[in-house]
C-alpha cells in the first residue's frame, strides 16, 4: 500500500527534471494524504503537462464519489483485469511526482513510521492511473497509485510498495498511445526497482493534519 508521501522539491527542479514548460500553482508538501491534490504529469499528444489530481480514483462510471477513498491504490498484478482500471491501463496513465513516501513498520510495541526515498535520485514518479468524472456539469479529475509486491528492502517494513518508475521509463509510461492492458501489465512486471533508503520519523506524521519539516525529521 502507498498511503502517504512527500513532494517538497523546488518548483524549478521539477520543471527541469520533467522537461516541463510551466507548472501549476505549487506548494511544497511534507505529508500528502488520500483525498488531497497530488502533482501529476500526463502527455497530451503534443507535450507533457503538469496539473493536480485528487488522490483517490473515482471512475467515470461511478455514481458515488466516496468510492475514491477506497481506490487510492491499484494492485499492478491485477489492474489490467479489473473493470475499474483496465481502460485506464490502456490509455490514462500518469506520473505522480514525489520525493519520498511513508510506510509504517509493525513492531511488538506498535507501528513505527518510516520515510523512504531513492538512494540515487531526489525526485521520482509513481506509476499512476487517472480518470475524469462528470455529472450535471460538475467535473472531477482523480488518480490512483499502482502498487507491487515489496522487494527485499521493503519486505521487513511492509509487504507492498508503490510502483516507482525508473527514470528512463517515465516517458514511455505516459506515451499518448492506446495500449493493450496486458502489454501494460508486462511493462510493469519488467521494471527494475531503484535502490531505496529509509529512516524512522516521529509519529507526528501519523495525522494527515500535520504538515511541515517536522514530518521528515529523523527520529533521534
What positions carry a catalytic annotation?
A: 2, 103
- Asked if 6 and 36 touch (Cβ cutoff 8 Å), the reply is no
Radius of gyration of the chain (CA): 17
Residue where the block lists cell 508538501: 29
Q: Provide the pairing of β-strand 93-98 with 124-135.
A: antiparallel
Calpha distance 76→71 (Å, rounded): 13
Amino acid at each position: 500500500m502507498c498511503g502517504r508521501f512527500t513532494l517538497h522539491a523546488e518548483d524549478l527542479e521539477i520543471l527541469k527534471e520533467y522537461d516541463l514548460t510551466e507548472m501549476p500553482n505549487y506548494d511544497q508538501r511534507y505529508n500528502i494524504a488520500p483525498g488531497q491534490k497530488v502533482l501529476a504529469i500526463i502527455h497530451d499528444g503534443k507535450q507533457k503537462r503538469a496539473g493536480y489530481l485528487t488522490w483517490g480514483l473515482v471512475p467515470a462510471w461511478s455514481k458515488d464519489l466516496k468510492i475514491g477513498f477506497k481506490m487510492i491504490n491499484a494492485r499492478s498484478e491485477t489492474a489490467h483485469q479489473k473493470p475499474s482500471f483496465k481502460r485506464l491501463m490502456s490509455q490514462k496513465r500518469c506520473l505522480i511526482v514525489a520525493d519520498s513516501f511513508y510506510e509504517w513498520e509493525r513492531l511488538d510495541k506498535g507501528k513505527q513510521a518510516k520515510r523512504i526515498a531513492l538512494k540515487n535520485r531526489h525526485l521520482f514518479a509513481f506509476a499512476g492511473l487517472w480518470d475524469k468524472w462528470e455529472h450535471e456539469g460538475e467535473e472531477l479529475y482523480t488518480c490512483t497509485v499502482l502498487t507491487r509486491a515489496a522487494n527485499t528492502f521493503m519486505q521487513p517494513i511492509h509487504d507492498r510498495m508503490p510502483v516507482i518508475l525508473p527514470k528512463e521509463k517515465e516517458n514511455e509510461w505516459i506515451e499518448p498511445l492506446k495500449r493493450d492492458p496486458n502489454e501494460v501489465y508486462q511493462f510493469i512486471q519488467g521494471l527494475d526497482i531503484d535502490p531505496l533508503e529509509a529512516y524512522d520519523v516521529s509519529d507526528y506524521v501519523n495525522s494527515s493534519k500535520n504538515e511541515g519539516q517536522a514530518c521528515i525529521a529523523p527520529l533521534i
